[in-house]
Homo-oligomer: A and B are copies of this chain.
């Protein structure tokens, strides 16, 4: 395979030039870290050097105004360097402990960002595009995150959970929001409607092929080759909608939200796991989606109360059993909670082990 750079293939900026000097100096030579208060980590190098990182929650979507404020603070406190975390938080690094308090003050007053998200807290929600900018969303992303984080900010600013809590949202069934301890997902409830008058199908065979259950069939409509959907087969996944904009999967009146729990990428203890259905049928209720906040709270309260140190949400549920999870959250277990996708049999209780 060719690996030579084409003329315009210049690649990624050199990170070594973008590192805070404290980080550059001890690169690869760190000894340990301490969480000196929520949002603030002290990193100690083998040679005894320390740097302090302050994590601030951002709304991810930012104007140049906000970025200018961030840069300004980084210039004043951090020798002109900063980084963003995996969960779109801004991280300011300083090399003197006495800079921490004034830095936090600046973040809060000038930027208006909260400080936290470290250790066993709820960090920023990983969110997607939503109505702001995607072509497929059934709900918003930035808005749901804002509404939820308003409600959870206390838990961002404190470290009061058994372990870290990662939350994601997804604005359509494509689910760009990944697996997480708690995931909020849109759900469609009808087969796609085909807009035969405005068909924009670029590639008919691709549209037919994309359907996981072979529900899309070629069909000549009004003389032109088009497609039809076998409603009984369709599982409302919307894969076709991504491929063909004329196959409308969304429905403002019937789309709902559901909450999934127990996803985890870390290889710790039991290893990675996918998230599983907790509750479904929540209304898609802008601008603040109170029903979603409510349900998330129920899960978090139960987890906070019942989880043991270091148990992630999924590990807690696994230990207490799903039966107790439903008891403790007050959600109802329904037949829809039982897997019917591929590998369903692996999710059944294939032993007599039950809590009676």
Spot the interface stretch: A13-21, A102-110, A153-161, A347-355. Answer: A347-355
A324-356 vs B: 1/0 string, CB under 8 Å? 000000000000000000010110001111000
Please give the number of chain A residues whose Cβ is less than 8 angstroms from any Cβ of chain B in the complex.
Answer: 10
Among A272, A350, A351, find the residue whose CB has the most chain B CB atoms closer than 10 A.
A351
Closest residue on chain B to residue A349 by CB atoms: B271
Q: Is A3 an interface residue (CB 8 A)?
A: no
Contacting residues, chain B, for A346 (C-beta < 8 A)? 343, 346
CA distance A240 to B56 in the complex (A): 65
- Chain B residues whose C-beta falls within 8 Å of the C-beta of A271 in the assembled complex: 350-353
* A61 proximal to B (CB < 8 A): no
**Contact partner of A267 among B272, B343, B345, B352, CB < 8 A?**
B352
Pick the contact of A272 from B272, B343, B345, B350 — CB < 8 Å? B350
Complex interface: chain B residues within 8 A of A343 (CB): 343, 345-346
Closest to A271 in B: B351
Q: Min CB distance, A212 to chain B, in Å?
A: 15
Assembly CA distance A352 to B268 (angstroms): 9
Query: In the assembled complex, which residues on chain B have CB atoms less than 8 Å from the CB atom of A272?
Result: 350-351
| Cα separation A104 to B271 with both chains bound (whole Å) | 53
User: Per-position contact with B for A244-273: 1 when CB-CB < 8 Å, else 0?
Assistant: 000000000000000000000001000110
A residues touching B (Cβ–Cβ < 8 Å)? 267, 271-272, 343, 345-346, 350-353
6 contacts between A and B (CB under 8 A): A267-B353, A271-B351, A271-B352, A271-B353, A343-B343, A346-B346
Extra 10 A-B pairs, beta carbons < 8 Å, given A271-B352, A272-B350, A346-B346: A267-B351, A267-B352, A267-B353, A271-B350, A271-B351, A271-B353, A272-B351, A343-B343, A343-B345, A343-B346
